[in-house]
Amino acid sequence: MQFRDLKYQYEVLKTDIDKALIGAAAANAYIMGPQVKELEEQLAAYVGVKHCLSCANGTDALTLALKVWGLGPGDAVFVPDFTFFSTAEVVSLEGATPVFVDVDKATFNIDACDLEKTIRATIADGRLRPKAIIAVDLFGLPADYTAIGRTAKQYGLWLLEDGAQGFGGAINGKRNGSFGDISTTSFFPAKPLGCYGDGGAIFTDNDEWAALIASLRVHGKGSFKYDNVRIGMNSRLDTMQAAVLQVKLKAFADYELEAVNEVAKKYGEQLAGTVKTPIVPRNFYSSWAQYTIQLDNREQRDHLQVALKEAGIPSMIYYPTPMHAQTAYRNLHYPADSCPSALQLCDTVLSLPMHPYLKTTDINLVCDAIKSNV
Ligand SMILES: *Cc1c(COP(=O)(O)O)cnc(C)c1O
């Protein structure tokens, strides 16, 4: 059994993907070929925003957003303590300071109450200027954007949606990628919509920022590539990756997103009462980048992971360490017991095999193995 069966997906889509790849190779427009612009238009339409700009990966997408806002030393950016490292890393890379916020154990996403508390504490402390919030759509589930948006407005902060795991998720039909002042996603192969290498995209309704990002991703170009008007990056999506993504986006929108939600439903029905299964709040829709259960404690979780492995079932711990306890952030001197919910999750979470092509027989196997080992 595969944790995320990309090989099987390729077999299903092989005819179209091979045609797209060979077509891109033969057309000889490897950088910024026509597929890139087409894909950006398709993605913007799917997400429901005015502008989509593709780039080299999801980390660069976040970096480009922070560069648009000119964040730097002395600026505080509020980041969930339970996420992939990139979310905080990009803040530090710009010279700004990530300020870690605890998460809601039920949704794994940034806790709106703790966010407000942390903003107030940062203002009271006075050493950093609060500038932005990065909310993450962890495991595919949108963050609580009603509450977060209100807080962002109240304190005059930019809202950046890190939708690296969230492509396809929605609240009341409004899709992930449309909730931030700027939103981003990643096309890393294992994400809900993945390419065959690295890739990412930025979404915004703001014309001025979109133009700035278009410049920043090509060495700060002005009227043409060798007219450089600002310091930028080399961060473009390859034509070949765009070609693959055009095929994959169609499958994603046609049936994969629905199929992965069916898998989640089956897991939920079979595992209810045995372990804590992930919840999806009313009117929320997840793209299920991960299906993550919670055990009672670390011993039970670690025992289950070993038992699953012995039964040939792969599982992953996303994530074993909260941001505030990462070695790279020792310099920020967070007390060890900061963000207690994030700490607890790191000890109790386990992500199960999850993808749109997971067979019912495999779902049953996973569930039976869990039931006989907790
Ligand atoms: C994967 C991921 C990123 C980074 O995306 P890359 O394309 O790997 O650079 C950022 N944030 C979160 C939450 C992610 O899961």
- The 10s digit of each residue's pLDDT in 91-136 is 999 999 999 999 999 999 999 999 999 999 999 999 999 999 999 9
Position 184 in a domain: yes
58 pocket-lining for ligand 1 (C-beta < 6 Å): yes
> What is the domain range of residue 275?
255-373
pLDDT attached to residue 225: 87
* Chosen domain end from 219, 247, 275: 247
Domain edge (last residue) among 188, 212, 247: 247
265 and 214 share one domain: no
Question: Residue 63: inside a domain, yes or no?
Answer: yes
The number of the ligand 1 atom at minimal distance from the alpha carbon of 186 is 7
Distance 126 CA to ligand 1 centre (A): 31
DSSP track, 179-230: SSSEEEEE--TTSSS--SS--EEEEES-HHHHHHHHHHTBTTBSSSTT-B-S
pTM for the whole thing?
A: 0.98
| Domain annotation covers residue 1 | no
pLDDT in tens, 13-22: 999 999 999 9
- Domain membership of residue 287 (yes or no) is yes
> Atom 5 of ligand 1 has which residue's CA nearest to it?
58
For ligand 1, say whether the CB of 57 is within 6 Å of any of its atoms.
yes
- How many domains would you assign to the chain? 2
Tell me the best of 54, 55, 86, 162 to mutate to test the pocket of ligand 1, counting ligand atoms within 8 Å of each CB and taking the most: 86
Counting residues of the chain whose pLDDT is more than 90, the rounded percentage is: 100
Query: Nearest Cα to 295, choosing from 328, 317, 310, 313?
Result: 317
Mutate to test the pocket of ligand 1, among 85, 162, 184 (most ligand atoms within 8 A of CB): 162
CATH number for the domain harbouring residue 354: 3.90.1150.10
Angle at 91 between CA 88 and CA 95, to 5 degrees: 140
Q: Is the CB of 108 under 6 A from ligand 1?
A: no
Nearest CA to ligand 1 atom 1: 164
